Amino acid sequence: MDVVLLIFDRMTVLDAVGPYEVLSRLPGARVTLCAAEAGPVRNDSGSLALVADAAMAEIHSADILVVPGGPGTRELMGDESVHEWVRAIDRTSRWTTSVCTGSLVLGAAGLLRGLRATGHWMARDDLAALGATVVAERVVREGKIVTAAGVSAGIDMALSLAGWESGEEIAQAIQLLIEYDPQPPYRAGSPDQAPARVVARLTGRS
């Protein structure tokens, strides 16, 4: 089973690595990170690079496509060659997925029109503008299209996908292997839960 992760300059690396750590453990998974060109790709803060082992042009199909998010999605949203590639891979895929603002890329490629979808909570208006019906859920499945909320939500999305694809017992074994028994020290992981001053700090509306 071919799992393809699209990476790009100024991605948010946990968006990609959360699903990677789950999906790479699926039975028979062959994972490929690809980018515009093969080679190192820097993340949003610039202090970490992942290596793309393939160029997008070398990848013609995927069983599972994962599009992570990050500030760099702004460039991808305006890049028609990326949209064409995403649509071409989607025509071959069993699952087309996104994490965080990766849903803006699926949306820009026209894959979310009329569908329920999610993404980073700060990007909901942008997502709606692309024709999606935005819902404030952590993981949203519409047929084979699966979108996840911000950054860390990719772990939840990938575990759900693991269960749909390979069955509950394998998904649970992966969850146990990555010891995903989350115990956040604060209740601050969504704009509904976080203290108002913390939300204001990020939105600039204080």
Q: Which of residues 7-26 bind a second copy (CB under 8 A)?
A: 12-14, 17-18, 20-21, 24-25
Q: Measured between alpha carbons, how far is residue 32 from residues 4, 37, 55, 81, 151 in Å? A: 5, 13, 10, 19, 20
Q: Which residue has the tokens 């890329």?
A: 105
Q: d(Cα 156, Cα 144) in Å, to the nearest integer?
A: 16
CB 149 within 8 A of CB 120: yes
Give the integer Cα–Cα distance in Å for 80 and 99.
Answer: 20
Is residue 156 a contact residue for a second copy (CB under 8 A)? Answer: yes
- Residue 12, classified by CB atoms within 10 Å of its CB into exposed (0-12), middle (13-18) or buried (19+), is buried
CA dihedral 41, 44, 49, 50 (to 10 degrees): -70
Interface pick for a second copy out of 143, 169, 205, 206 (rule CB under 8 A): 169
Is there binding between residue 152 and a second copy (CB under 8 A)?
yes
Rule CB under 8 A: is residue 173 a binding residue for a second copy? yes
Does 206 contact a second copy by CB under 8 A?
Answer: no
In the list 1, 10, 38, 49, the residue contacting a second copy (rule: CB under 8 A) is: 49
Which of 34, 82, 100, 106 is the catalytic position?
A: 100
Instruction: CB nearer to a second copy: give 5 or 83.
Output: 5
- Site for a second copy contains 121 (CB under 8 A): yes
How many CB atoms within 10 Å of residue 187? 10
Decide: is 61 part of the binding site for a second copy (CB under 8 A).
Answer: no
CA distances from 59 to 3, 104, 112, 189 (A): 11, 21, 22, 35
Contact region with a second copy (CB under 8 A), list: 83-91, 105-113, 124-132, 175-183: 175-183
34 an active-site residue? Answer: no
H-helix or E-strand spanning residue 133: strand 133-134
Among 47, 125, 143, 206, binds a second copy (CB under 8 A): 47
Q: Active-site residues: which are they?
A: 100
Instruction: Catalog residues that contact a second copy under the rule CB under 8 A.
Output: 12-14, 17-18, 20-21, 24-25, 30-33, 40, 45, 47-51, 53, 100, 120-121, 138-139, 149-153, 155-156, 159-160, 163, 168-169, 171-173, 175-186, 188-191, 193-195, 197-199, 201-202
